[in-house]
Amino acid sequence: MNPYDIINPAQLSIIGDDELIEIIGDTPKAIKGPRKPDGWDECFTLHIPSNPRDPDTKIHNGTLNINYYCPNHPDGNVDMDKHGQVVERLIELFDDNWPKIEGYKISDWSVREPLGPIPVTENPKGESYTSLRIGFVVRKINSEVI
């Protein structure tokens, strides 16, 4: 299973969501990978850190991480209101709303663990992030289980 079959539709959902655009005030920037690009102030990162596959059943049991980076208020306090609104919208967008993957069947797709906001280590007074973990179980179609 190509992890981009999960990451690409998730990225497009974030970029094209009118409610996220309204919360953020612009079209969201989203990148595939675990690191935020230098110079990007407010953005999303998407990656799959874990996707073990059972060789007998051909089932993948993985996790999609979506991180939302947000500037803090000028006084260094976290923008809790914005983080909360973004997390609420991400849960609405992704909980039980899975992508279609050619040749695979998704039997579980759920938001499991929203974490944060967490101060960014390099700039704890200037920026924080929230991390959302989506668990998924995917099986290859037409694979025979012995």
| pLDDT tens readout for residues 87-139 | 999 999 998 888 888 888 898 999 988 888 888 888 778 899 999 999 999 98
DSSP string, 100-112: P-TTEEEEEEEEE
| pLDDT tens readout for residues 16-70 | 999 999 999 999 999 999 999 888 889 999 999 989 999 888 899 999 999 999 9
Domain ranges of the chain: 4-140
| pLDDT tens readout for residues 70-82 | 999 999 889 999 9
Q: Can the peptide bond before residue 117 be classed as cis, meaning omega within 30 degrees of 0?
A: yes
Tokens linked to 35 = 């690191």
> How far is the C-alpha of 60 from the C-alpha of 30, rounded, in Å?
25
> How far is the C-alpha of 42 from the C-alpha of 54, rounded, in Å?
37
Cα 48 to chain centroid, rounded: 9
Hey, what CATH topology would domain 4-140 get?
A: STM4215-like (3.30.2000)
H or E element, residue 14 = helix 4-15
Q: What is the pLDDT of residue 141?
A: 83
Please report which residue ranges of 1-146 form alpha helices under DSSP H: 4-15, 18-24, 80-94
Q: What is the pLDDT of residue 114?
A: 87
